[in-house]
Structure 1
Amino acid sequence: MGTTKTEHFTERQSEIAVITKAMGHPARVAIIDLLLKVNACIGNDILEKIPLAQPTISQHLKVLKDANLIKGTIEGNTVCYCINESTFELLSKYFGNIASNVIHQDCC
């Protein structure tokens, strides 16, 4: 395998790649969907809604948090998670730009 040459890409391109890679697992998409649905900060409720073991959920939450897709705050003995709005604004602009450019293309 070759090495990646990240210096050839902009900071924005690298950021989008990290974010979209984090969204590349159905369990993480399910967690994001749940957080969007409840529109609140939730902790242990995630374990009740997503049919995976606690360590597995914790690992998925870590990946989402490392990609800045979610935020976590400590409340007592638990961590409360919610959507990181600024990251989704970035994604919305990025994919909105793609969608508007694709619509106006005349390609094979």
Structure 2
Amino acid sequence: MFAVEGALGSADRRSELAAATLGASRWQVFRHVTLPLVAPGVAAGAVLCFTRALGEFGATITFAGSLPGTTRTLPIASYLAMQTDPDEAIALALLLLVVSVAVLLMLRDRWLPGVRS
């Protein structure tokens, strides 16, 4: 998260404003200007997120176990589903991804004051 926050904070806003002035929609500005500007930060954040998730997964499954209805977290549920139903595991992983992207979009004003979502 800090890698993405740093990338968003250091991105030059003038490029986004210029694209918007030239008639680009919000989605086009995001897709063609903002995302390429922050792509290295997003990639670094994804790697850090993956390694952190592995660490959290290991600690949860080692110390709390996987007691159905008691300590079932979404990553553990996805892991267990992968052994029996890969489609369900993929759906759970996509759900985690959607929630993560939604949180990032909700926090965009924190990183880029003056931009309304």
TM-score, normalised relative to structure 2: 0.30
Structure richer in strand, relative to its length: 1
Structure richer in helix, relative to its length: 2
TM-score, normalised relative to structure 1: 0.31
